[in-house]
Structure 1
Amino acid sequence: MPILGFFTGWLYSMAMVFTGASGNLSVALYLASIAEVGQGRTLTRVEITAIAWAMNIFSGIINTVGTKAIGRMSTFNVWWTLGGTLVLAITLLVKAPVKNSPDFVFTNFQNFTGWESRGFVVLLGFLQAVYTLEGCETAAQVAEEAVRAEILAPLAVVGSIAGSWFIGLAYMLSLLFAIQNIASVQATTFAIPISQLFYDAVGPQRRRRFFHHA
């Protein structure tokens, strides 16, 4: 039915807009947290918004006029994600002064969301897992340009989901084993709360040493 195709196209378009915006906002929040951790400077909401908009504009320019570089950037991002996740996971597990037990990681349930329904809170947690599916459909979009697309395109979709799931699981487990104080993360003043988790696990001394050498 044409009407279903119309709505599907619009939903997908809006999803791409919101996905890109959320990613660029995350970049801005991480940069704001880096500024606060490293230099003790708290960025204002206006400054964070300006960074996010700068990332939006930069992304738009790259996708409009830099199509030849997108392939190289995608390859770089794959290795950056793999290597960066490995470094983060090892750093957390090695440097965290207290390692949580498997019982805490796999069976403990704590609700700091303000919602009383445990089922609803679990569903909220699944929102993060949705990122596992992000981008997997792009293999189908470029299938017409690929050799043996009938084989390689499905493999690319499945490989993208499986790879994201595995990397995300490893990263999530390292966070759960290394987290020192949930209340500290919840009450953080950093722009993005996960920065507090890294700060607590790695420690301020190593942070100062890093920025001193930088």
Structure 2
Amino acid sequence: MGDAREVVLASHNAHKLGELRSIIGPDLGGLELIGYTGPEPVEDGVTFAENALLKARAAAAHTGLPALADDSGIAVDILGGSPGIFSARWGGPARDDRQNLELLLWQLTDVADEYRAAQFICAAALVLPDGREHVELGIWPGRVLREVDGNGGFGYDPIFAPEGSAHSAGALTADEKNQQSHRSRAFRAIAPVVRSLVQ
């Protein structure tokens, strides 16, 4: 069991922990965001919010600490919101970023620019050991480009142009992305809730 001033991030991804410490660490009012090494649940929810809650519940139950988790992906309007919750495995069982990206580009080959609207969506979930729960959504609107632009970021970043930009999220610096991404929007929205509920 951890310290009462700790909040566990329900992810085994050290990069994500560092990113979120940078994004919301100063907004947590002295609470420390720590990593998680416990079991991860099967993500069988049908929305980003459901999957984020599954992860946060598992981490809160395992550690006895307040837990934060997120689930995110890209939703393309003309594909009815797909890949959506299947973003990480859109290209097949290998769960390979490049295959996912290339399949999406191929599916949109003949789609005119005005119909390539998309958004990155992130659900951030907080679960307390006493069972209280809260979810915030972060939405980053934009469009799918016709080819890879930039070599930064990960996932679909190199083919997603944020609204008002001619370049992809993959062309942004880490700091620029942290100022505007779907993940930063969701976690900045949930940070005051964490402060108010975690004593």
Same fold (TM over 0.5): no
Which structure shows the higher helix fraction? 1
Which structure has the bigger radius of gyration?
A: 1
* Normalised TM-score (structure 2): 0.29
Which structure shows the higher strand fraction? 2
